[in-house]
């Protein structure tokens, strides 16, 4: 037995020793593998420097894990680095859409979307919209209105690496007054919903709007969005009338600031735009009916215009088929053209412009269709790209992490085949997408 005992001990010792050696070798190889795989070099034939507004040629971009480390024509290529050859492409920073609704999509029937679906119906497919958006080259979105904290769940799942999608700066509930664009209108007062006002983002008066801002932030909002004016795709009569008092708007922006957050305002109407700008919002969403004074105020306050000027095409061609009330279509006819002219005037006057599409009102993944209109109505192609990169990053307060190909920022990089500065529609097909150093799409391979 004793002999057997020794033998057994010896065998265990030997096995342990072998195991330990094997484990050490495994660790070394995993470490080596991780190092090799995490260092990448992009060879960029043409590269847009969106900060300077210039084009560079034959640049190398060194990426370590999720971060850009260096850039230049002659940087050292570390041994074992993975080379990504984009010498025949134009390389630019991942695009940013400052106005999306990733947890909604035109579903094909107005009343089904309003009454026959629950947030779970939307939540269960939202990851598909996130992926489509990323595949379209949009590596960051400011998502400005969602219910049931779906946007927070989506943002977190993407950040955890559970599902692919853009980085999300989330607003949670759109904050609106009773009967506003954020409420459900046009139906019998006996049609009631079980959720509380706070779970619908409906808030009236200074105390309630402040409480709603706190509620949104408590459960994860990165930014605050409220309805300064009426809307198009909702059944209230006016599209432009203010839906909060000046005091309520001031309170929303002030409360957001206390918590270190920016606010943005849905605003089509002239007076509502001016009120929201005076309240101190970071951006005006839609900005459809601008007059000279509104433009002047936006310039003075440094307020961004985030106008969804592609939307009109899709709504007018498709929404009647979805059973959308004629009243809404008529409102769109009124606003669509005026909005593009307002945008043109604002660009001419030098208002700061960002890129925001309202994707979700039209199908996700088609975000880049808006570039053509931004160029048609006054921006140069480089300015339109800056609106969707460096300006957008500035609006989000994320300039230190996204918006340009700069050492220290996330490696959010896309590439297109042709030159977007000569044909902006090139951005509608993005064959290469990297986010945080991970290649999600490379059709050029
Ligand atoms: N969410 C906006 C609203 O309902 C969409 C406006 C669409 N129309 C437009 N021309 N941008 O008010």
Cβ-count burial of 399 within 10 angstroms (0-12 exposed, 13-18 middle, 19+ buried)? middle
Is 245 a domain residue? yes
> Are 316 and 437 within one domain?
no
pLDDT of residue 85: 97
283 and 385 fall within a common domain? yes
Q: Which of the four pLDDT bands, split at 50, 70 and 90, describes residue 445?
A: low
Q: Determine, yes or no, domain membership for 401.
A: no
Q: At what angle do helices 119-135 and 150-159 cross, to 10 degrees?
A: 40
Tokens found for residue 430: 């993005």
Domain identity same for 380 and 418: no
Helix (H) or strand (E) holding 265, with range, is strand 263-267
**177 shares a domain with 84:** no
Pocket test for ligand 1, best of 226, 286, 309 (most atoms within 8 A of CB): 286
311 Cβ inside 6 Å of ligand 1: yes
Structure tokens, 281 = 């919002």
**Number of continuous H segments (helices) and E segments (strands) in the chain:** 13, 14
Question: Over the stretch 166-220, which tens digit does the pLDDT of each residue have?
Answer: 999 999 999 999 999 999 998 999 998 889 999 999 999 999 999 999 999 999 9
Nearest atom of ligand 1 to the alpha carbon of 266: 12
> Each residue of 289-298: pLDDT tens digit?
999 999 999 9
- H/E stretch holding 93: strand 82-93
Please report, for the domain that includes residue 46, its CATH number.
Answer: 2.30.40.10
What percent of the chain clears pLDDT 70, i.e. is strictly above it?
A: 92
Q: Is the CB of 232 under 6 A from ligand 1?
A: yes
Same domain, 131 and 189: yes
pLDDT of residue 1: 32
Q: How confident is the model at residue 107 (pLDDT cuts 50, 70, 90)?
A: confident
Smallest CA-to-CA distance from 385 within 54, 46, 42 is with 54
For residues 278-308, one letter each, b for 16 or more C-beta atoms within 10 angstroms of the residue's C-beta and e for the rest, the string is bbbbbbbbbbbbbeeebbebbeebebbbbbb
The string of pLDDT tens digits covering residues 126-158 is 999 999 999 999 999 999 999 999 999 999 999
Give the nearest ligand 1 atom to 309 CA. Answer: 11
Q: Has residue 404 been placed in a domain?
A: no
223 falls within a domain: yes
Which residues lie below 8 Å from residue 127, measured CB to CB, with a gap of 6+?
Answer: 154, 157, 163, 165
Structure confidence at residue 36 (pLDDT): 43
The answer to whether 90 touches 46, Cβ cutoff 8 Å, is yes
Q: What H or E segment, with its residue span, contains residue 14?
A: helix 2-38
User: At a CB cut-off of 8 Å and minimum separation 6, what does 262 contact?
Assistant: 223, 224, 256, 281, 282, 395, 397
Residue 10 has pLDDT above 70, yes or no: no
Ligand 1 atom closest to residue 308's alpha carbon, by position in its atom list: 11
Give yes or no for residue 39 CB within 6 A of ligand 1: no
Q: Is 210 in the pocket of ligand 1 (CB under 6 A)?
A: no
Q: Are residues 268 and 175 in the same domain?
A: yes
Label residue 8 exposed, middle or buried (CB < 10 Å: 0-12, 13-18, 19+). exposed
In a domain, 243, yes or no: yes
CATH number of the domain that residue 338 is part of: 3.20.20.140
The percentage of residues in the chain with a pLDDT greater than 90, rounded to a whole number, is 88
User: In this predicted structure, what is the pLDDT of residue 16?
Assistant: 45
* Residue located via tokens 């950040």: 159
Looking at the fold, whether 17 and 42 belong to one and the same domain comes out as: no
pLDDT band at 33 (very low <50, low <70, confident <90, very high): very low
Pocket test for ligand 1, best of 98, 229, 341, 361 (most atoms within 8 A of CB): 361
CA distance 64 to 90: 21
Which atom of ligand 1 is nearest the CA belonging to 336?
A: 10
In this structure, is residue 403 part of a structural domain? Answer: no
Distance CA 429, CA 308 (A): 20
Q: Is the CB of 113 under 6 A from ligand 1?
A: no
Q: Residue ranges of the alpha helices (H) in 90-204?
A: 110-111, 119-135, 150-159
The atom of ligand 1 lying closest to the CA of 286 is 11
Whether 176 is in a domain gets the answer yes
With respect to residue 157, please indicate whether it lies within any of the assigned structural domains: yes
Terminal-residue alpha carbon distance, the chain: 65
The upper half-sphere exposure of residue 257, i.e. CA atoms within 13 Å in the direction of its Cβ, equals 10
Yes or no: say if 397 and 304 are a contact pair by the CB < 8 Å rule.
no
φ, ψ for residue 296, nearest 5 deg? -60, -45
DSSP string, 356-402: ---BTTB-TT-GGGHHHHHHHTT--HHHHHHHTTHHHHHHHT-TTTS
Q: How far apart are CA 62 and CA 194, in angstroms?
A: 54
Q: Pick from 176, 311, 359 the residue to mutate for probing ligand 1's pocket: most ligand atoms within 8 Å of its CB.
A: 311
Considering the domain architecture, whether residues 134 and 161 belong to the same structural domain is answered as yes
How many Å apart are CA 284 and CA 229, to the nearest integer?
A: 11
Q: Structural domain tally of the chain?
A: 3
- Domain hosting 419: range is 38-92+409-442
Alpha carbon nearest to ligand 1 atom 7, residue: 311
Q: Taking all residues of the chain, what is their mean pLDDT, rounded to a whole number?
A: 92
Length of the chain: 445
pLDDT in tens, 345-384: 999 999 999 999 999 999 999 999 999 999 999 999 999 9
**Cross-strand pairs, 435:** 438
Same domain (yes/no): 426, 307: no
241, 229 in Cβ contact below 8 A?
Answer: yes
pLDDT band at 252 (very low <50, low <70, confident <90, very high): very high
Does residue 56 share a domain with residue 43? yes
Is the predicted pLDDT of residue 22 greater than 80, yes or no?
Answer: no
In this structure, the answer to whether residues 238 and 370 fall within a common structural domain is yes
Q: Are residues 72 and 124 in the same domain?
A: no
């Amino acid at each position: 037995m004793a002999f057997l005992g020794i033998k057994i001990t010896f065998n265990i010792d030997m096995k342990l020793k072998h195991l330990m050696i094997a484990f050490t070798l495994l660790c070394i190889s995993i470490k080596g593998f991780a190092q090799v795989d995490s260092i990448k070099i992009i060879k960029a034939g043409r590269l847009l420097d969106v900060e300077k507004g210039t084009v560079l040629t034959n640049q190398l971009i060194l990426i370590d894990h999720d971060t850009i480390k260096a850039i230049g024509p002659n940087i050292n290529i570390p041994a074992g680095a993975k080379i990504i050859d984009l010498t025949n492409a134009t390389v630019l920073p991942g695009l940013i859409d400052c106005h999306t609704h990733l947890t909604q999509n035109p579903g094909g029937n107005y009343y089904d979307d309003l009454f026959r679906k629950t947030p779970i119906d939307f939540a269960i497919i939202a990851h598909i919209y996130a992926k489509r958006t990323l595949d379209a080259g949009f590596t960051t979105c400011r998502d400005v209105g969602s219910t049931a904290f779906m946007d927070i769940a989506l943002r977190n799942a993407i950040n955890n690496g559970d599902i692919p999608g853009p980085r999300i700066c989330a607003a949670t509930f759109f904050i609106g007054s009773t009967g506003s664009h954020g409420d459900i209108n046009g139906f019998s007062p006996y049609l009631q919903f079980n959720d509380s006002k706070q779970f619908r983002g409906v808030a009236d008066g200074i105390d309630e709007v402040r409480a709603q801002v706190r509620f949104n932030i408590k459960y994860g909002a990165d930014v605050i969005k409220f309805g300064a004016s009426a809307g198009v795709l909702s059944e209230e009569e006016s599209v432009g009338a203010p839906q909060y008092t000046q005091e309520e708007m001031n309170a929303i922006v002030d409360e957001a600031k206390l918590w270190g957050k920016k606010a943005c305002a849905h605003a089509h109407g002239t007076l509502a735009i001016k009120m929201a700008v005076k309240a101190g919002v970071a951006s005006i969403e839609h900005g459809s009916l601008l007059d000279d004074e509104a433009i002047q105020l936006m310039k003075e306050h440094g307020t961004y215009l985030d106008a969804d000027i592609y939307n009109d095409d899709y709504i007018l061609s498709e929404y009647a088929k979805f059973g959308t009330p004629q009243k809404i279509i008529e409102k769109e006819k009124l606003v669509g053209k005026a909005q593009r002219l307002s945008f043109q005037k604002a660009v001419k006057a030098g208002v700061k412009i960002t890129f925001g599409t309202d994707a979700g009102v039209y199908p996700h993944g088609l975000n880049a269709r808006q570039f053509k209109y931004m160029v048609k109505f006054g921006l140069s192609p480089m300015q339109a790209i800056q609106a969707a990169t460096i300006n957008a990053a500035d609006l989000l307060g994320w300039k230190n992490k996204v918006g340009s190909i700069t050492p220290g920022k996330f490696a959010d990089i896309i590439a297109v085949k042709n030159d977007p500065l000569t044909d902006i529609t090139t951005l509608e097909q993005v064959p290469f997408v990297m986010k945080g150093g991970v290649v999600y799409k490379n059709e050029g391979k």
